[in-house]
Amino acid sequence: MYIDDSTFVNAEIVRRGLAHVYRFPDNAGDTGHIAALIAAQNEAIDNGVGVWSIPHSPELYYVALKTSYRFHRPGCTSARDYNVKDWIRFETREEAFRLGYSPCRNCKP
């Protein structure tokens, strides 16, 4: 959504830490908007605003399937059947967010 044909409102919401970027296969082709949203999210992470100001108890690591948009806590039932060779491992949840992964709705990393 744009205001005055120039302000990408979705990115402004993400930049203020009021929402996460949530990727789905059906918006994967919208690479320009996705890149703008991830850049806005990285800015929010850097500035520690909104949801990024809320402290989390960190896991030792987080995982995602290479072919997925979701990242998980290591014990998530949605991730337990992943073959380790198909994992991407992140040391922090912010690392996963910065690379454009979205949090699993089951384990809420």
Q: Which residues bind Zn ion (CB under 5 A)?
A: 72, 76, 78, 104, 106-107
The DSSP bridge partners found for residue 90 are 62
**Residue with Cβ nearer Zn ion (14 or 107):** 107
Q: Please give the Cα distance from 103 to 109 (Å, whole number).
A: 6
**Residue with Cβ nearer Zn ion (38 or 104):** 104
Q: Least distance in Å: CB of 56 to Zn ion?
A: 15
Burial class of residue 84 in the structure, from the number of CB atoms within 10 Å of its CB (0-12 exposed, 13-18 middle, 19+ buried): exposed
Q: Least distance in Å: CB of 24 to Zn ion?
A: 16
Cα dihedral angle (93, 73, 88, 84), rounded to 10 degrees? 160
Q: Least distance in Å: CB of 51 to Zn ion?
A: 18
**Residue with Cβ nearer Zn ion (21 or 104):** 104
